[in-house]
């Protein structure tokens, strides 16, 4: 049982946090983090804590489907590399993260039309606080684009290869579904190459 939980949820804590996130979802407290204006999105910004695993892989997956995208960490060191476990998990999915370097929030410039997608509810609240009264950007939970929705995508850092694979599969699924909803965030459209 522990092995199955570790592979699917990372740890018992990951499972517990997902259960609590579902409770918040069912209570309606996450409505403020749903995408209200997809037509206004010009760039997708993936956010996690360190910008070396989840958001870094999401950035790679989004580039692959043609989205205008960056990623950032809420508490990291700009220039930090992804750990070998993350780059290996990405490579198993056909992505190359070895060149990725983290970007700390303090080095990120918010732009009008940004959609900031976080991995955890507490990150959504932290981002909203940092944005202050800005209403020209939106904040959401990347896992809500999974099928079924997952309002908590537990951090795989220092966890098993099996959980890295599960986490990155969920991230890739969410990014693919998200891309279909954001026609104005495609690179070709922004460059004037497409309709």
Strand blocks (E) in the chain: 43-48, 69-73, 114-118, 138-141
Any idea which architecture 2-190 has in CATH?
3-Layer(aba) Sandwich (3.40)
| Residue 159 and residue 6 in contact, taking contact as beta carbons nearer than 8 Å | yes
| Residue 79 and residue 176 in contact, taking contact as beta carbons nearer than 8 Å | no
48 beta partners: 73
pLDDT reported for residue 62? 97
List pLDDT tens digits, range 112-158. 999 999 999 999 999 999 999 999 999 999 999 999 999 999 999 99
3-state helix, strand, coil in the chain (%, to 5): 50, 15, 40
* Positive or negative torsion for Cα 69, 93, 105, 79: negative
pTM: 0.94
How do the domains of the chain map onto residue ranges? 2-190
pLDDT reported for residue 192? 56
List pLDDT tens digits, range 63-122. 999 999 999 999 999 999 999 999 999 999 999 999 999 999 999 999 999 999 999 999
As a dihedral over the C-alpha atoms of residue 28, residue 31, residue 5, residue 176, rounded to 10 degrees, the angle is 150
Residues 6+ apart with CB under 8 A from 41: 35, 113, 114, 115, 138, 182, 184, 185
From the CB of residue 67, how many other CB atoms can be counted at a distance below 10 Å? 22
């Amino acid at each position: 049982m522990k092995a199955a939980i570790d592979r699917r949820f990372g740890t018992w804590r990951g499972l517990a946090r997902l259960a609590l996130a579902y409770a918040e979802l069912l209570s309606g407290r996450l409505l403020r983090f749903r995408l209200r204006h997809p037509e206004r999105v010009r760039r997708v910004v993936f956010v996690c804590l360190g910008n070396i695993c989840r958001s870094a892989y999401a950035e790679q997956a989004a580039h692959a489907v043609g989205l205008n995208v960056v990623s950032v960490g809420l508490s990291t060191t700009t220039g930090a590399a992804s750990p070998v476990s993350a780059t290996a998990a990405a490579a198993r999915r056909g992505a190359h993260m070895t060149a990725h370097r983290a970007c700390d929030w303090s080095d990120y410039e918010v732009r009008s039309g940004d959609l900031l997608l976080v991995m955890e509810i507490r990150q959504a609240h932290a981002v909203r606080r940092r944005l202050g009264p800005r209403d020209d950007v939106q904040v959401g939970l990347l896992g809500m684009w999974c099928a079924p929705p997952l309002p908590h995508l537990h951090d795989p850092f220092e966890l098993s290869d099996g959980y890295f694979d599960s986490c990155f599969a969920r991230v890739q699924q969410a990014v693919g579904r998200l891309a279909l909803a954001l026609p104005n965030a495609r690179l070709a459209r922004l460059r004037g190459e497409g309709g």
